[in-house]
Amino acid sequence: MTDSLWFLGTGASVATAERDNTALLVASAGDMVLIDCPGGLVRRLRLLGFSPDQIGAVLITHTHTDHVYGLPSLIHSLMRIEKRLPVFGSRESIEFCRRLLDVFHLLDDKVLCRLEFQILEEGAAFDPVRGMSAWTAAVRHRPSSLAFGLRLEGSRRELVYSGDSSPHAPLFERAGSCDLLIHDCTVPSRLLEANPTLPDLHTDALSLGRLAEEAGVSRLAPVHFAGHLGFSAREIEREIRRFYTGELIIPRDMMRLPIGSEVQT
């Protein structure tokens, strides 16, 4: 399998007809890593021709509903399949996932898919699957929110995903040398005044373009669009382009991006 990234969803917490909650699937050397797990994940995987049992690890950025509420459904689909499935996240994220799964008795012995919970600290290095190394960085959203960097050993490519995050200069500095930065871009800047809590939790398009340009990010993919607030992807693109001169990818749900190559759908 060619090293690839699938944008399983690109929307914010309220899904629209065009965009479901944000989640990513990264494949390298035949192994797959799922980043965040909103609802409808099993169907999305099936539509792409994958089976849930192909997932080799799950990474959780934080505990907000649109990033974890599909985890019980995913594990339920695997309950009769004997396999181990590592789940990585901060202490808060892992403890929350345990409680959520326990509500549905999905940690009982009858579930043949055995979860291996792995607590990560800020700055931790780990190997989610064979042929892929990763690191974490703190971001400003929830106190325990984590961004993830993934290095694909076969192609030597590195991806960085912010998760939900307000503008955080240290992450952009870390991502400046990566091959692709996938970053929160919840709204265009004109909506910040009407939504005063957003700047403390999420990144607007104008700030994203400026910070990515200042950090020297060569390839940028904005995600987590709150389209229910009334704007188009074209507006996001225009605003990012006021500062950013690198390669800009405006992803759609279910889009495949071969790592280090051209966009394919």
List the pLDDT tens digit at each of the 265 positions of the chain: 578 999 999 999 999 999 999 999 999 888 999 999 999 999 999 999 999 999 999 999 999 999 999 999 999 999 999 999 999 999 999 999 999 999 999 999 999 999 999 999 999 999 999 989 999 999 988 888 999 999 988 767 899 999 999 999 999 999 999 999 999 999 999 999 998 988 899 999 999 999 999 999 999 999 999 999 999 999 999 999 999 999 999 999 999 999 864 444 4
Structural tokens at position 34: 């799922």
What pLDDT is stored for residue 156 in this prediction?
A: 76
What are the structural domain ranges in the chain?
4-121+130-252
Give DSSP secondary structure letters for 131-189.
TEEEEEEE-SSSTT-EEEEEEETTTTEEEEE--S----HHHHHHHTTSSEEEEE--B-G
Phi-psi region of 227 (alpha: psi -120 to 50; beta: other; left: phi over 0): alpha
What pLDDT is stored for residue 30 in this prediction?
A: 81
What pLDDT is stored for residue 89 in this prediction?
A: 98
- What distance lies between CA 98 and its chain's CA centroid? 20
- What distance lies between CA 215 and its chain's CA centroid? 21
What pLDDT is stored for residue 110 in this prediction?
A: 95
| Fold adopted by 4-121+130-252 | Metallo-beta-lactamase; Chain A (3.60.15)
User: How many beta carbons lie within 10 A of that of residue 87, not counting itself?
Assistant: 23
- Residue where the block lists tokens 């192609």: 155
Terminal C-alpha separation, the chain: 16
Active site residues: 66
Output phi, psi for 84, to 5 deg.
-105, 140
Distances (CA, A) of 194 to 166, 190, 198, 207, 228: 17, 8, 9, 17, 14
- What distance lies between CA 242 and its chain's CA centroid? 25
What pLDDT is stored for residue 260 in this prediction?
A: 61
Considering just the CA atoms, what is the radius of gyration of the chain in Å? 17
Output the pTM of the full model. 0.95
What pLDDT is stored for residue 102 in this prediction?
A: 97
